[in-house]
Amino acid sequence: MGGRAMTGTNSGRLQALDSWDADWAGLRVVVTGIGLSGFSAADTLIELGAHVVLVDAVESEQTLAKADTLRIVGIRDVLLGEEHTRTLPLVGGQPPELVVTSPGWSPRHPLLAAAAQAGIPIWGDVELAWRVRRRAGRRTAEWLTITGTNGKTTTVGLVESMLQAAGLRAIAAGNVGTPILDAVRDPVGYDVIAVELSSFQLHWSSSLSPLASVCLNVAPDHVDWHGSFGQYLADKAKVYANTQIACIYNAEQRETEAMVEEADVVEGCRAVGFTTGIPAVSMLGVVDDLLVDRAFIENRRTSAAELAALSDLGDVVPRHLVANALAAAGLVRAYGIEPGAVRAGIRNFKHGAHRIQQVAVIGGVRWINDSKATNPHAAAASLSAYDPVVWIAGGLSKGVNYDVLVTEHATRLRAVVLIGLDSSDLQGSLRRHAPDVPVISVPPGDTEEGQLPGGEVMAAAVAAAAGIAVAGDTVLMAPASASMDQFPSYAHRGDAFIAAVRRLQEGQEQTAEEH
């Protein structure tokens, strides 16, 4: 992906770079982006002895500090500023032999397009990590790979928890928390790495051969980056390529099963489905409020192994959380983890912030932060768990359509509070498919660096919701949109919501005391 076929000496050399101990010395590499993955890629390549030039469009106090650190460890050049990203730079006066890109850089970016036009291979940090994972004197971790439009972070966390409950040295890495190259370079090494992979990372990967893999689900997302939904699906499907033991798929979504059917896998690799209903043979599913396995046991035609109870997942168990737990269980069962460790891992797992996170119950109204619901598919999962709902939604749409989301959940909506600089797409869907649902639009106001001072936009949204909700309602902040129009990240948006709800709670408690 990302370039023409390699030719000549360059092709042979890059193909031979399949371990840490291979001959990386002097390899001319351009690294794009100085974020977490780009920084770790540049640092790794310097340690390997490559000649590295790093480019990033942003010149700020933070990027300058990172650049200084990389110069200390031996980077050849760090070029900061948008003007440096328009063309492909030279490395030591010569064209680069390789580009390693940060996942957010689109294939249509001028620098990457120039590399592709010149026939220079483009890797992502995950591809680089796979190639350097084997190192003399250190254990080589097996990889369990996870992708999907939604649920990746929860699932990778569950996998990590289950593996650790089994006594293994395991870590969640990749598109969550720890960059994959940092995990691979750990001085001790891991038994297993649970690798969360975005569609961007998969686009720039080609050599991965995980022990087991899963695509949790697919729905339109990042169409602007990929160019089409078809290309997005094609990149997601790469998670199954070269899988060794088991391709885990969502039996309730035909698209993921088709990906497995079309995947080129290691001979003997099995297809194993998961369902939130009763499982067929070679599947995981739910029977009488129990999570069960009919895939990784000898007598799977006539029996099932109990893995956990639904109650082990918590008091409120949305359907998508059950699906994520079954997918995680399928991955670790493929590795050979016993049922007891699956249950212990589920019980030990701490749900991450900003994903269906209960913030408070005020006057009988439940306030839920699901800022991580950055697309319609994720918002649908949380909307389906509550009824009736005062829905706080809106933001940067990323080119998706909201008609199906609104149509399916219109009957549970008491009202909608819209945030975002331009939520006209969502507003149009509400007008067409939920015309009787009241809609309150929060004015964007005068922004400073993309956000109202003091989080006033979220405070206004929370105040509007509080004015509508009654005891028994749920106020759900599940925007179905990205955050970058008004907030630096979905986490910042979630924090603003939490702060506003807590101020509301403190105000009501103070009022009660005064009376």
Phi, psi of 206 (to 5 degrees): -145, -20
Q: 79 with 57: CB under 8 angstroms?
A: no
- Note whether 217 and 378 are within 8 A (CB): no
Q: 3-class DSSP state for residue 441?
A: strand
Amino acid sitting at position 510: Q
**C-alpha triplet 286, 383, 428: angle, nearest 5°:** 140
What is the maximum span of the chain, computed from C-alpha positions, in angstroms? 83
Q: How many CA atoms lie within 13 A of 183 on its CB side?
A: 30
Rounded to the nearest angstrom, the gap between the alpha carbon of residue 312 and the centroid of all alpha carbons in its chain is 24
Does residue 148 have a known ligand-binding role? Answer: yes
Residue 150 is assigned to a ligand binding site: yes
Strand pairing report for 290-293 and 389-393: unpaired
Cβ 282 vs Cβ 248: under 8 Å: no
- The token duo for 168 is 């293994």
Provide CB contacts within 8 A for 173, sequence distance 6+. 179, 180, 182, 183, 193, 194, 195, 196
* H/E run at residue 306: strand 305-309
> Is 154 one of the annotated binding-site residues?
yes
**∠ at Cα 56 (51, 62), nearest 5°?**
105
Q: Are 240 and 216 in contact (CB under 8 A)?
A: no
Q: What's the CA gap between 247 and 346, in Å, rounded? A: 21
- Cα 287 to chain centroid, rounded: 29
299 marked as part of a ligand binding site = no
CB 56 within 8 A of CB 63: yes
Chain centre to alpha carbon of residue 296: 27
CA Rg value for the chain: 24
- How many CB atoms are closer than 10 A to CB 206? 16
Is residue 153 annotated as involved in ligand binding? yes
Q: DSSP assignment of 317-340, as one string?
A: --HHHHHHHHHHHHHHHHHT--HH
152 annotated ligand binder: yes
Which H or E element spans position 472?
none
Q: 394 among the known binding-site residues?
A: no
d(C-alpha 158, C-alpha 194), whole Å: 9
Annotated binding residues for ATP, written as ranges, equal 148-154
Annotated binding residues, written as ranges, equal 148-154
